[in-house]
Amino acid sequence: MTVELIIPLFVLVFGLVIGSFLNVCICRLPKDESVVSPPSHCPACGYQIRWYDNIPLVSYLLLRGKCRGCGVPISLQYPVVELLNGLLTLAVFLRFGPSLTGVAMVLFCSSLVVITFIDLEHQIIPDEISLPGIAIGFVLSFFLRGHGWLNSLLGILLGGGSLLLVAWSYERLTGNEGMGGGDIKLLAMMGAFLGWKAVPFILFTSSLSGSIIGISLMMLQKKDRKLAIPFGPYLALGAVLYLFYGKLLIGWYLGLNGLTVG
């Protein structure tokens, strides 16, 4: 096996291992539990998971998706999170190479994975991730080439401020809260890592995808038209699209209208 294959394979495995830890965060953060102690265990029978039963993807397949202690099915979420984070880590490496920017974007994408799955299940975005994420993204901006602290600061202000304005306007018009503070802090974190130019793109793509899926779900729910849909996963989707394809998609759109990227 050549070096050209060994290094990407190592990066993929590293992402899978980190994904295993992300599962711990996803399960414990909403319960305000420590992500360090106690060791991983079966929530049904308390069986302490041995290291050979905690190998990303492999253990799930060998155990046929069941706990070794009690035989209760293991949630499919575990291998999905591991595989998703592994592929994202590999994609970041192939895009940015072994650089500080690559490390920063791996941290960013891993945070989005945790936020997405917590928001899907509990409809909350933990401050334990978004608030430190804002600070970390801003600090890293001083060291990332082609990014800059001002770009990051404007991203924080535009990201958090735009959704804060939307939430305030909606509440004034309807008298109901339409967007939680978690989404506001999440978009501010995205602005810190990706800069202010990413914010309009993320808002557009997340609103578009959220509207399509939301309307489809409401059409399926004929009895109850009031459906609470977490917005965090759509923001995460928009951020990942911008990270890998933002400039390409923006250039394509401007080209359709006879414009050029400045």
- Is 146 in the same domain as 36? no
115 with 27, same domain: the answer is no
- Structural domain range at position 32: 1-80
CB atoms inside a 10 Å sphere around CB 79: 21
Q: For residue 169, what pLDDT is reported? A: 78
Q: Is residue 89 part of a domain?
A: no
Residues 69 and 174 in one domain: no
pTM value?
0.90
- Whether pLDDT at 256 is above 90: no
Q: What is the mean pLDDT of residues 163-174?
A: 78
User: Are residues 208 and 110 located together in one domain of the fold?
Assistant: yes
Could you tell me if 121 and 234 lie in one domain?
A: yes
Per residue in 74-92, pLDDT (tens digit) is: 999 999 999 999 999 999 9
Inform me whether the pLDDT recorded for 153 exceeds 90. Answer: yes
pLDDT tens-place string over residues 35-76:
988 888 887 787 788 888 889 999 999 998 998 888 889 999
**Which pLDDT tens digit goes with each residue over 102-146?**
999 999 999 999 999 999 999 999 999 999 999 999 999 999 988
